[in-house]
Amino acid sequence: MPLSFPDASLTTRPWLAYREMFLGLVEREVRARYRGSFLGFLWSLLNPLLLMGIYSLVFAVVMRIQVPHYALMLFAGLLPWTWFSTSLANGTASITANANLIKKVYFPLEILPLVSVSTNWVNFLFSLPVLGLFLAWEGLGPGWAILSLPLLMALQFLLTLGVSLILATLNAFYKDVEQLLGPVLMAWFYITPVVYPLSMLPADYAWLVHVNPMAPLVSAYQDLFLKGQWPGSPALALAAIEAIVIALLGLIFFRRRKFIFAEVV
């Protein structure tokens, strides 16, 4: 009995040949999300706006948090957070939700979580002009520091993709992950400085910033958009390293198991 295992190049299409499939799926997801709804694409703006209204009411009016430009700070943090959390929700389910496709066609399955993160990134980009408008209204803005936005987005992309790959793999075997994700994301939201500024975090909990790469990231977005501050905190540097490590781990974890997905989903 020969013991040689086939390599990954079983079928002959190289990675690049799946570019069209990837783009096609992202386009489909972006457009499918709002197809059939009256306001259509406007929802990708309305949702964070509604959230901003609710959180402003609760934290600025009821709990009287004293932070300048609170609503804007909230909005600047909600946009990257929404990209992150929606990507994770879609990405986790991406393998199980596409079971039909996986069982029928060969393609690099990494595409599916990648599509989730990319689709939500596109929605994030589409909502930036509204943020820009609000900032301009208040006489605020990032100025030249906007040039660092691609760096922040790249870090967040890597982090989100890495976590998505891990969760998608686990979810293929244990559907419980999907169920668990809601409460976990809610807890994650509250340990990330979106509804409060990073400076309000009590000293005893400062370590949270170092284990949660989303904390310095969201904070960097807020400082960038509201104060025009270039990113460069040591906490962000650590988050960058964490993002890269998580992305690599996610990829390895996913790739070692992807060939049995078609048999278990």
Partner 1 sequence: MSVTVTTGIGSVEVRGVWKEYALASQRPRTLKEAVVEALRGRLPERPRTWALQDVGFRIEPGESFGIIGTNGSGKSTLLKLLTGISKPTLGTVDVHGKVSALLELGAGFHPDFSGRENTFLNGAILGLSRSQVAERFDSIVAFAELADHIDQPVKTYSSGMYMRLAFSIAVHVEPEILIIDEVLAVGDAAFQKKCIERIHGFRREGRTIIFVSHSHGQVAELCNRAAWLDRGVLRSVGPCEDVLVQYEAHLAGAGV
> Residue 205 is inside which H or E element, if any?
none
Distance CA 122, CA 42 (A): 14
With 0-12 CB in 10 A as exposed, 13-18 as middle and 19+ as buried, what is 184?
A: middle
Give the nearest distance from C-beta 178 to partner 1 in angstroms: 11
Binding pattern for the stretch 88-107 against partner 1, x by CB under 8 A and - elsewhere = ------------xxxxxxxx
Instruction: In whole angstroms, give the CA distance from residue 166 to residue 52.
Output: 30
Residue 56 or 94: the one with the smaller Cβ distance to partner 1 is 94
Nearest distance, CB of residue 1 and partner 1, angstroms: 6
Kindly write out the interface string for residues 40-79 of this chain, putting x where it contacts partner 1 by CB under 8 A and - elsewhere. Answer: ----------------------------------------
Does the protein bind partner 1 through residue 211 (CB under 8 A)? no
Return the sign of the alpha-carbon dihedral for residues 136, 223, 192, 166: positive
Of residues 21, 45, 65, 122, which one binds partner 1 by CB under 8 A? Answer: 21
User: What count of other Cβ atoms lies within 10 Å of the Cβ of residue 54?
Assistant: 11
Residue closer to partner 1 (CB basis): 17 or 128 = 17
Angle at 259 between CA 256 and CA 264, to 5 degrees: 110
Q: Which stretch binds partner 1 (CB under 8 A): 31-39, 85-93, 128-136, 214-222?
A: 31-39
How many angstroms separate the first and last alpha carbons of the chain? 30
**Candidate ranges 14-22, 56-64, 205-213, 217-225; the one touching partner 1 (CB under 8 A):** 14-22
Q: Is residue 259 involved in binding partner 1 (CB under 8 A)? A: yes
* Binding-site member from 69, 175, 210, 255 for partner 1 (CB under 8 A): 175
Of the CA atoms within 13 Å of residue 243, those in its CB half-sphere come to 23
CA atoms within 13 A on the CB side of 159: 26
202 touches partner 1 (CB under 8 A)? no
Angle at which helix 43-55 crosses helix 19-34, to 10 degrees, equals 60
In the bound complex, what is the minimum distance in angstroms from residue 109's beta carbon to partner 1? 10
Nearer Cβ to partner 1 (91/108): 108
126 contacts partner 1 (rule: CB under 8 A) = no
CB 216 within 8 A of CB 206: no
Taking the complex as a whole, the smallest distance from the CB of residue 179 to partner 1 amounts, in Å, to 9
Q: Which residues bind partner 1 (CB under 8 A)?
A: 1-6, 10-13, 17, 20-21, 23-25, 27-28, 31-32, 35-36, 100-107, 173-177, 259-260, 262-264
